[in-house]
Amino acid sequence: MSFKKIAIIGKYNNLKEDPNFSGKLKALIEFIDSNKIQVFIEEKTQQQFKLNSYDSVAISQCKDVDLIIVLGGDGTMLGVGRTISHMGVPMVGINQGRFGFLADISFDAMEKELTSILEGNYITDERMLLSVKVMRDNKLIYESLALNDIVIKSGSRLIELELSVSQKLLHNQRSDGIIVATPTGTTAYALSAGGPILHPDLDSVAIVPISPHTLSNRPIAINAEQPISVKIIDMDEGFLSVDGQIKFPLDLRDQIYIQKSSNCVTILHPKDYCYFEMLRNKLNWG
C-alpha cells in the first residue's frame, strides 16, 4: 500500500500530563513531511497546538487519507477507532513511553518503525467492533459502536439482569453488572473482572459478570455472530458504558441489544510485532 496522504491526531489536553507533548507532535509531523507525504492535522489537534502551517481535517472526513497516525495512548486510539471504523482507513498508534495494547510503537522508536511501515513492511491487524442499541418502549433511544467493551453497571446496589444469546436464555444474574467485550477489550476492564484473554484473531466475544452475587456465575466466551440481548429485571439506578468513555443512563424499561458490527478497525504494526510479546510486556508475565 502506498501512503500519499496521512492524517495525524494528537491526544487532546495533554500539556499538563506531558509538557513535552507539543515537541513530540511537531517531530512526528516534520518526519512525515520530510518523506514527501502530504500531511493533514486533525482539526482539534491543530487548534490546540496551533499548527496552522498544515492543512487540517476533521476526523469524520478522514476517508480520503491513506493512513491515520495517533500520538497518544490506547484511550485516544479507542475514540478514533470508533469514529473511523466505517472508512476502511488503517491506523498506527504511537505511545509516549508506556507500552500500549493498541498504541504499540514507542516515541523513541518512532522514526525507525514508521520508516519500515511507510516502505510497506508491516503487519495488518483487523479488530472487530460491537454495536449496541438501547430500546425503551419499543423506541430506539441510544446506539453506539464499541472497540473494547459494552458495560451495563449498577449505581450503588446490585442490578438484576436477564441475558439471552441468539434469543435463548443464558441466565438471570444479580451482580454489580456485566461486561460484553471484544477480543481487544478482554485485556481491559473484563480482565480485571476475571474474564479470559481472547486472541484478536478469534471471532468471539466474552461475557463477564462484575462481582456476581452467586459465585457460580462465570465468564463465558461465545461466537461473535450470536446476538446478545439484556433485559433489566430490577435496579435502583444503572448506566451503559461504551469503551469506558461514553456513559448513558438506563431505565427499568430498557432492553439492550448487542451484536458484532459490520465495521472493523485496521491497525498497522511493525513487522516484528508479536501479540504474545505484547502481553508479556504489558502484563509483566515471566
CATH number at residue 49: 3.40.50.10330
Lowest average pLDDT, out of 92-106, 129-143, 156-170, 242-256, goes to: 92-106
Q: What total number of domains does the chain contain?
A: 2
Cβ-based burial of 114 (10 A; exposed 0-12, middle 13-18, buried ≥19): buried
Q: Based on the fold, state whether residues 138 and 255 are members of the same structural domain.
A: yes
Q: How far is CA 169 from CA 23, 151, 246, 280, in A?
A: 54, 19, 28, 37
Q: Is the pLDDT of residue 29 over 80?
A: yes
Q: Based on the fold, state whether residues 175 and 250 are members of the same structural domain.
A: yes
Angle, CA 38 vertex, CA 35 and CA 40 arms, to 5°: 125
Least Cα distance to 58 among 37, 41, 75 occurs for: 41
Band the pLDDT of 19: cuts 50, 70, 90.
confident
> What distance lies between CA 78 and its chain's CA centroid?
3
Q: Based on the fold, state whether residues 155 and 192 are members of the same structural domain.
A: yes
Q: Based on the fold, state whether residues 254 and 147 are members of the same structural domain.
A: yes
CATH number, domain with residue 228: 2.60.200.30
Amino acid in the structure at residue 140: L
The mean pLDDT value for 27-52 works out to 94
Lowest average pLDDT, out of 24-33, 44-53, 94-103, 196-205, goes to: 94-103
Q: Based on the fold, state whether residues 75 and 53 are members of the same structural domain.
A: yes
Number of H helices, E strands in the chain: 6, 18
pLDDT of amino acid 2:
85
Query: Containing domain of residue 218, as a range?
Result: 129-263
Q: Is the pLDDT of residue 147 over 90?
A: yes
pLDDT of amino acid 138:
93
Q: Based on the fold, state whether residues 138 and 254 are members of the same structural domain.
A: yes
Q: Based on the fold, state whether residues 135 and 255 are members of the same structural domain.
A: yes
Q: Based on the fold, state whether residues 67 and 15 are members of the same structural domain.
A: yes
Q: Based on the fold, state whether residues 116 and 141 are members of the same structural domain.
A: no
Band the pLDDT of 105: cuts 50, 70, 90.
very high
Q: Based on the fold, state whether residues 147 and 83 are members of the same structural domain.
A: no
pLDDT of amino acid 14:
59
Other C-beta atoms closer than 10 Å to the C-beta of 54 total 16
Of the two residues 188 and 12, the one the predictor is more confident about is 188
Asked if 62 and 89 touch (Cβ cutoff 8 Å), the reply is yes
What residues are annotated to the active site?
74
Least Cα distance to 267 among 94, 48, 11, 53 occurs for: 94
Please state, in angstroms and rounded to a whole number, the distance separating the CA atoms of residues 197 and 183.
7
The mean pLDDT value for 231-249 works out to 96
Q: Is the pLDDT of residue 18 over 80?
A: no
Asked if 237 and 156 touch (Cβ cutoff 8 Å), the reply is yes
Q: Based on the fold, state whether residues 112 and 152 are members of the same structural domain.
A: no
Please state, in angstroms and rounded to a whole number, the distance separating the CA atoms of residues 110 and 94.
7
Cβ-based burial of 60 (10 A; exposed 0-12, middle 13-18, buried ≥19): exposed
Asked if 110 and 31 touch (Cβ cutoff 8 Å), the reply is yes
Q: How far is CA 222 from CA 125, 145, 187, in A?
A: 21, 19, 17
Band the pLDDT of 99: cuts 50, 70, 90.
low
DSSP-derived secondary structure letter, 35: T
Q: What is the mean pLDDT of the chain?
A: 94
What is the C-alpha end-to-end distance of the chain, expressed in Å? 37
Q: Based on the fold, state whether residues 183 and 225 are members of the same structural domain.
A: yes
The mean pLDDT value for 250-254 works out to 96
